[in-house]
Amino acid sequence: MCAIVGIFGNDNAARLASVSLFAMQHRGQEATGISSSCDGKIYTKKDRGLVSEVFNEEALAYLKGNMAIGHNRYATAGSDSVLDAQPVYAKYKLGEISIVHNGNLINKDEVRKDLIDKGAIFQTGMDTENLIHLIAKNTKDSLRDRIIEALTRTIGAYCFIVQSRSKQFAIRDRYGIRPLSLGKLKSGGYIVASETCAFDLVGAEFIRDVKPGEMLIFSESEEPESVQLFEPEFRPCAFEYVYFARPDSVIDGKNVYTTRENMGKALARNDANSKIKYDMVVPVPDSGVPAALGYSAESGIPFKYGIIRNHYVGRTFIEPTQEMRNLKVRMKLSPMGSLIKGKSLLVIDDSIVRGTTSKRIVKMLKEAGAKEVHFRVASPEIKFPCFYGIDTPTKEELISTRMTKDEVCKFIEADSLEYLSIEDLVNAIGNDRHYALESFDGDYFVKA
């Protein structure tokens, strides 16, 4: 669920790329990087840390040129945040190349083994590097043809941006699992980015979403060239709407804030006949806020910020270790004791993955004086690992595969617990299309 961006045809390309990555910091906080291209040479800067820490004035001055690609890292493959930071850069027969990738390649091990057997030497643990080797080992005369042939051996969820010394290629897999949008910069040139929230910050006008199976080629031509590589089988990721995307983004024509508000309204309708009396609706900030507002609007129960978030602490779910996740929960969330003391709370969160965060939140609220904590989740039970870009690699990590709803309720020490049904989730996003719901229903529609 990383963030990627490409800027083409603008003299402030690297700076605009860094601002775009800043807008998409929520998609990855382990490492960040940018490659720019100028006078036939590619310049790359990447490091551990946040965008604001890595890209100071000295770094941006180094990244010369009117085209740049960038990446925020959220680890699903690979390990070390420096060695496995992106962009991935290489020199090969046709010159220099740099690649950024959002997604996860499910046939990565098979392809990597074959490449190693044929003499390839890998520098990282990332599936992204597979594409570099597939391109470099190809004998076609153009980078365009090499990319197309490499993609025939690339299976999974992916949005790639490939940068040469003079061109950019933006590609989205045939399922459109991960989001990618195209915009026109008011100061000149084009932008492609994982989320439209990046467009607002850099002053870009949204043109359209990159189509599933499409490759856009940016060159000296005025308009980007579109090549439909694969027949679309559109299945956008439902988890983008549940958790990952920023609420002010529009993902494949759906406003994220509105979909989350709809999820909360559906929870309220399901609770309409409940005999439990709640004093207030309390969101788990920040991703639970729109759903809580929807619940409050539908039910008439007052919305209150019973939990305050420290915004200088990052997102817990995308921390690489459980120890770090536990620490971040304690650091970032604080209960409003004077507001919730003696009250019955209806607490809304976007999801329950491992259960540890929910347990700490319930305990924290009760220790602060809440009389009852009733937990509502604005998504279905997560019962299956995702292999398309979410860091839930084993069933053992998912509490709903090991426990029933009542057992989860007991584990997190809530007074009651309810989830959204898959049907309600789909209706909340919009039932005009099929979605990638493998975390909820186990339908692994992409086959290796």
Beta strands in 233-352 (DSSP E): 250-251, 254-255, 280-283, 307-309, 333-335, 344-349
Strand partners, 200: none
Task: State how far the Cα of 406 lies from the Cα of 375, in Å rounded to an integer.
Answer: 12
Structural element, H or E, at residue 150:
helix 143-151
Q: What is the dihedral of CA 90, 91, 97, 101, to 10 degrees?
A: -20
Catalytic member of 2, 159, 237, 409: 2
Give the C-alpha distances (Å, rounded to integers) separating 230 from 3, 214, 352.
Answer: 23, 7, 35
> How far is the first Cα of the chain from the last one, in angstroms, to the nearest whole number?
20
Task: State how far the Cα of 282 lies from the Cα of 260, in Å rounded to an integer.
Answer: 15
Task: State how far the Cα of 262 lies from the Cα of 118, in Å rounded to an integer.
Answer: 52
Give the C-alpha distances (Å, rounded to integers) separating 370 from 25, 257, 282, 346.
Answer: 33, 28, 11, 11
Beta strands in 121-256 (DSSP E): 156-163, 168-172, 181-185, 190-193, 204-209, 214-218, 225-228, 250-251, 254-255
User: What does residue 227 show for φ and ψ, rounded to 5 degrees?
Assistant: -125, 120
Task: State how far the Cα of 213 lies from the Cα of 178, in Å rounded to an integer.
Answer: 12
Residue closest to 40 by CA, chosen among 166, 153, 160: 166
237 catalytic? Reply is no
Binding residues for Mg(2+): 287, 349-350
Q: Which residues are catalytic?
A: 2
